Structure 1
Amino acid sequence: MDFTDLYIDGAWRQGARGERFDVINPATEGVLASVASADIEDADLALDAAEQAMRDWAARTPRQRSEVLRKAWELMTARLDDFARLITLENGKARADAMGEAAYAAEFFRWFAEEAVRADGLITTAPASGARIIVQHKPAGLAVLVTPWNYPAAMGTRKIAPALAAGCAVIIKPASETPLTMLALMPLLEEAGVPPGLVNVLPSKRTGALVDHMLHDPRVRVVSFTGSTAVGRKLLHTAADQVLKPAMELGGNAPLIVFDDADLDVALEGAMLAKMRNLGEACTAANRIYLHEAIAEEFTRRMAEAMGKLKVGDGTDPSVDVGPLVNAETRDKVADFVADAVAKGARLEVGGQAPDGKGFFYMPTVLSNVPETAECVHDEIFGPVAALQTFSDEDDVIQRANDTEYGLVAYVFTGDMKRGLKVCERLDYGMVGLNRGLVSDPAAPFGGTKQSGLGREGGHEGMLEFMETQYISAGW
């Protein structure tokens, strides 16, 4: 079967209006597939199906829900190669990156299979009245999930798994650039035992109207979104009309600080991972790299050498390190950031251009002496460009690192653990990597402060985003 239609109530549908849109391979600029585009009528069918399916699913025991999620992990783990290839084809990321994402995506099913049986409550006695306080967690209701293009598998499973563990039904709207991976996941969930209607997938070119309609349906109680802060703000306004429970994982502007006492081998490895994982197309990507002036020259030289050795090409080639950016708009935005920084005094150490030919490629780039006035310091680069700055004072670099509306993740490299932990506590970020360039983990609460979002995904907290706390006052 060709899994390019809408997935509603366990069946494949062409869509009420029969409209379709093309999915483009960013490495070749050719058409990968034509996908059905959902409209309002399709959303209503999905809402009806989800409402019906949730009645039975929420009534199942936690262990029954857990076993289905565990089976989904087993099935996806056995098919990582297939998912990785599809991720590369529609997103562009290199093979190694795609395999990493596929394994990461599958792990959410295993983690939340374990969490499904741990929605612990509380029974205690009120000190003043003597009444019994009973606290329990219940499924919140239907959830609308809106996912981005940079992680076509993981951003979906990171929401689907906790929602199902909590007892909720979901309708997922994948990014128009990369809907194929999420559609391909549906037969696997069927095989794992997910009942019809519990998970519905609505690709669409009319995202705004479609999501707005669903968020105004009284049956929807949760909206979970990963994407830009600008779109997140709009969704929060919409969610306010129905007072929906929001889970928002929004933009970032991650600082990475390398102190003079850092192990430069560890720091370079961490910086390359934090910068180049997923080609820099990640809200967790190191956006501003602050180097202590005592080690700045050596670190810059070594990072430029490492970036210059990366092989650029079609990600389906296992020898390729860096694939294309997802579309022409993203590539051109990255090029504009580089041109702006150089015009304002930054020095180009390596890269700095898009190669000739088809595909949305941009060469891995290192910029040193990047001024504070450069646009890339204040906005997400979302591409393979490392913007290096220097510092000499600890208080100053912490102030500069915190001087942003974003607060998703920061990175600190130092040989002094006491200093490192003190600096981490002073950084206004939801997550900090201390001598590590990777913080994402299904077992950890992923999320930020300030305008980087609300709520957490992963960890125990991720399931509670799809649950409501109920308190019962009793006497016996």
Structure 2
Amino acid sequence: MSVDPTLTHVHGLLARLAPPTSHDTFSVLDPSTGEPIAEVARVGAAEVDAAVDAAADALPAWSATAPRRRSEILHAAHALMLAELEPLALLMSLEMGKTRADARAEVRYAAEFFRWFAEEAVRIGGELRTAPGGANRIATVHRPVGVALLLTPWNFPAAMATRKLAPALAAGCTALLKPAEDTPLTAVYLGDLLSRAGVPDGVVHVLTTDRPAELVEWALADARVRKVSFTGSTPVGRSLLRQTADRVVNTSLELGGNAPFLVLEDADLDDAVEGAMYAKMRNGGQACTSANRFLVHSAVVDDFAERLTGRMAALRVGPGTDEATELGPMVNAKRQRDLAARVDGAVGAGAKVHTGGEPLERPGFFYPATVLSGVGRESVLSVEETFGPIAPIIEVESDDDAVALATDTEFGLAAYVYSRDLGRALSVGERLQAGMVGVNRGAISDPAAPFGGMKQSGLGREGGFEGIHEYLEVSYLAVAW
């Protein structure tokens, strides 16, 4: 498929997004080559102020729009995304480097948030009950929070946008979407798609920049911005909390992880390796739910390492746009350098490389699928989120040993456990301090399930029945009749 029609369409959208007199732009690179594929407007304070003005002006009418109408618009957005699956998937492969298979799967996953929250929009409830004293009634209603600032990461540029936009729009909020500087083109595409689906002017604004701290500071300076939803690293999340504290802004955070993948001694190793390949290699390992460390019982550690190595070594590396590619590039040069440094450090401390272990000598930001055993429990690969195709294997001696090591972290987003004994797996899974646990499965994300973490992996939940409530306030009316 030619990329030109998609890029031409995106360039047209960018021209409408940028002010006519603005020449301030930044480059979007193809991580498969390191070469620019587009120039994007770098919005300034004036553009941010104008977007907040427009979003605040549009808020009363959009909040008052019938839930059924908001639902119909979100259903239309779902249908449009699926109808335009191929160009949108190609665009993500171009700007982020993910494989065509991963990109297509993401479009389907992202579209499902529009459908799920289209159905939730007409189920926003309230309550009427008699006060215990009997003299009056207690009535509660849910109201939209207001103008929402949505900050999304580069690794899932469509899904992370729709996971925030869909509930915000369903709740009756207006939105300012700030995508990551590595992957702004998908967000621009989605902004146009929502307009074509029937979202009124002023309700959604896509703000592109490679200077995110400035944009967030400008937006949060305006008292009309009443909601912030952020997906990204824990250090940035902490900084945002400090900023939002001054005005007590409603804040949701989906932050970093350090997901343990527990393989108990009675696990079905074929199933465990299959789950490991998905949990580790989805999106090239660049996922917050990615299995970050493999805690494998000593009785099966060598067998598991051999099987996983065979699967990882066989992955076809290439540009994300190539249909045959099974592992694309990392998103940028910094990510590639960081992976190399972490592996070098682990090897220097005694870890054994089973496959991979060195950057590939080719244009772009490629790093091979890598399996390491003998990784120390204090290694940076064990204690920090890696965000890449590296599988460090750590030997454990018992369920208690595995659980203790799995929970010895400030993070608590996702975890995985494999055992042939379902009761045992569930028992271990309940002891893991994680917001999401995969029990004998490596795929856990679902728009119908609550997504979020414990400890320093975040605040609040996205998706599921809980997701829309992040964009609603409860108002209580004391009524006597």
- Separation in 2 of the partners of 1:343 and 1:31? 36
Letter paired with 1:37: R
Structure 1 residue 13: deviation in Å?
2.9
State the shift of 1:268 in Å: 0.7
Instruction: Select which of 185, 190, 198 maps to 2:195.
Output: 190
Matches within 5 A, 1:118-133: 118-133=123-138
Maintained 8 Å contact 1:6/1:15? no
Superposition pairs of residues 410-425 of structure 1, within 5 angstroms: 410-425=415-430
- Counterparts of 1:206 and 1:370, CA distance in 2: 37
Correspondence 1:3 to 2:14: no
CA distance in structure 1 between the aligned counterparts of 2:291 and 2:143, rounded to whole angstroms: 38
Compute the displacement of 1:16 (Å). Answer: 6.6
Q: How far apart are residue 392 of structure 1 and its match? A: 1.6
Contact 2:256–2:288 (CA under 8 A) maintained in structure 1: yes
Partner residue of 1:105 out of 104, 110, 113: 110
Contact 1:20/1:34 (8 A) holds in 2: yes
| SS, match of residue 266 in structure 2 | coil
Aligned-pair CA distance for 1:130: 3.7
Instruction: Pick the aligned partner of 2:57 from 47, 52, 55.
Output: 52
Deviations 1:148-179 (A, max 9, x none): 11111111111000000000000011111100
Distance verdict in 2 for CA 1:197–1:245, change over 3 Å:
same
Q: Look up the SS of the partner of 1:242 in the other structure.
A: coil
Could you tell me which runs of 5 or more consecutive residues in structure 2 were left unpaired when the two chains were aligned: 1-7
Deviation at 1:296, TM superposition (A): 1.0
Residue number in structure 2 paired with 1:314 = 319
- Structure 1 unaligned segments of length 5 or more: list them: none
Contact 1:287–1:387 under 8 Å retained in 2: yes
Give, in angstroms, the shift of residue 6 of structure 1. Answer: 8.0
Q: Deviations over 1:88-120 (max 9, x none)?
A: 000001111111111111111001001111112
Aligned to 1:30: 35
Identity of aligned residues (%): 51
One-letter code of the match for 2:224? R
Matched position secondary structure for 2:246: helix
Tell me, yes or no, if structure 1 residue 274 matches structure 2 residue 271: no
Does the Cα contact within 8 Å between 2:263 and 2:296 map onto a contact in 1? yes
Which shifted more, 117-126 or 267-276?
117-126
Does the 8 Å contact 1:346/1:368 carry over to 2? yes
The CA distance in 1 between the partners of 2:17 and 2:411, in whole Å, is 40
1:180 aligns to 2:185 (yes or no): yes
Distance 1:36 1:192, change over 3 A: same
* Deviation of the 1:3 alpha carbon: 3.4
Give 1:423 shift: 1.2
Aligned counterparts of 1:14 and 1:124: Cα–Cα separation in 2: 52
Q: What corresponds to 2:224 in structure 1?
A: 219
1:346-386 superposed Cα distances (whole Å, 9 cap, x missing partner): 11001111111201001100001111121111111111000
Two-structure CA RMSD over aligned residues (Å): 1.4
How far apart, in 2, do the equivalents of 1:3 and 1:39 lie?
21
Amino acid at match of 2:41: A
Q: Which residue of 2 aligns with 1:336?
A: 341
**How high is the TM-score relative to the length of structure 2?**
0.96
Quote the Cα distance in structure 2 between the aligned partners of 1:260 and 1:280. 25
Q: Which residue of 1 aligns with 2:465?
A: 460
Pair 1:232 & 2:237 matched: yes
Q: Distance in 1 between matches of 2:136 and 2:440?
A: 49
Contact persistence 1:15–1:36 (CA under 8 A): no
> Secondary structure of 1:439's partner?
coil
1:247-262 pair list within 5 angstroms: 247-262=252-267
What TM-score does the superposition give when structure 1 sets the normalisation length?
0.97
Contact kept, 8 Å, 1:411 with 1:433, in 2: the verdict is yes
Residue deviations 1:331-352, cap 9 Å, x none? 0101111111111111100111
Is this contact kept in 1: 2:158–2:186, CA < 8 A? yes
- What does the per-residue CA deviation read over 1:49-72, in whole Å, with 9 as the maximum and x for residues that have no partner? 111112111001111100000000
For residues 339 and 203 of structure 2, the distance between their equivalents in structure 1, rounded to whole angstroms, comes to 39
Q: What amino acid maps onto 2:441 in structure 1?
A: R
Asked whether the equivalents of residues 5 and 15 of structure 1 are also in contact (C-alpha less than 8 Å), the reply is no
**Which residue, 341, 346, 354 being the options, matches 1:349?**
354
What is the aligned counterpart of 2:122 among 117, 120, 128?
117
May I ask how many residue pairs the two structures share in their alignment?
474
Which string of whole-angstrom CA distances, capped at 9 and with x for unpartnered residues, describes residues 219-258 of structure 1? 0110000000000111111111111000100000000001
CA contact (8 A) 2:329 2:367 kept: yes
1:463 is paired with a residue whose SS is helix
